[in-house]
Structure 1
């Protein structure tokens, strides 16, 4: 191999090594896609790597632009370089010297779809556009419904906990959550659930009573930009068991039983008295009939004189039996 050929080969190797080193050093880590709410804001997380030692913010220039058109800048430190549709709506939240290139887009519009890419420039050293790592936005014209969680069983007088939560992409202006129970205690928290998504949640603690049974509990989420979303849940409160309810129930049952028994006793007593009166009258009638019949049999059909009593002893026995038993067969008497 000639000298010229060896020199060309070494030069190509150095180019490959240099390109490999640069490609390893210049990096940007972003989220490829984010769902965001129109009229609210979205924060695009971004981490930067550049060659050399760490530099101050003043030595690094950060630019965000459209992927297809590098001259369509959505953020630049010089506001005159920003496209008119994005002026006043974008700002860097991170410090470039700390390798944080996070961008916020406020008052999101329907046309803010992207994809958007980051470009870093280090004057007198190098510059790089990370067009292979860009962010696309998926627009939501209306917010999602919040998620409401509650205890399965609510008891009268026992503190209950409710949780209302919702995801968002605007940690710099997180949503606010309000409850329909304004006089109860509520705590609000906002946490990062990674990949550009955040979750805000509110914990409500209040003491339910019987008056809250079959009433609605409402959770309303207000987003940055003015949109709102709400969810409601029907509350069922279980009454607290105590001896008073048991005593009242027992007294009510006993009272009803005594009242019913008294009424039955009075009716039966009245019916028995009427029955005895009726039987007494029937006995008098039977005795009268038996007496007349006895006299009839004592008289002789020929002489008209009375027969001796011993000729009709069975009649006296029959009368006594009827009077003693009040048997229905005795009335009317067949004689």
Structure 2
């Protein structure tokens, strides 16, 4: 199966012609399997892009809020400066004209010792008040300068956040378009299969000799095993791209739904789920562990013991318990 890398989230389908009449029934089934695999990759890529977009939009909204608050702070600082402007203007005029009163002027203009004392007290008060006001003006001026710098930085951050959100939004739209095209190919290929081929592809919901009731009775209570038990109730439900239940699922949607039933919130996509919880070696797998497949981690299931997993496989195949061996193992986590 050929694939090409698209963007930063996953892979897109290789060129295929599902409309051409397959030479054999086996070829028809293999074509459907290949197309379904590619559509599952695109589905997970689109889900990852959606999660990224949601995060970017939230960041942009937060940045806008910070920018608005910074702008308000700057406006308030500028308004505070205006309150001190008359004092600054008077001080500047006095300094320019040399018209500031002093103690010598008061002595020459006074008619009595008491009048001199009164005038000198007034001069001291006016000088002190002016100095205090000039000091406060410097404080609010410095605050306004800092507020202007913060407002500019916040506005730049908000603009960058919106730009990033727009870029991810465009990427998501492209991936959704690719997924729609891939889904149409899968459905067209499915339509070329005979009833017996469709039945063979769907297979059985449990492998030979598997006893669900025995497995469930042997499970030790816990989040993983309880989630496996919850997921087992969905065996037979159809695979649908992007579905999260309660009666249809994609692979990561089934895992998310199963753990939600036991009160645990796990991420939406297979890639995000592969970084949740704690790592588990393949040799140490226990029922209820979450298992991941393919190099780009585009498929996920819940380990059911004895080399089996519960998973929503692909279009045309209902939720089932299947052997893990036919799918390239990537990693496992314990939630």
Q: TM-score, normalised by structure 2?
A: 0.22
Q: TM-score, normalised by structure 1?
A: 0.22
- The structure richer in strand per residue is 1
- The structure richer in helix per residue is 2
Structure with higher Rg: it is 1
Higher relative contact order (CA 8 A, sep 6+): 2
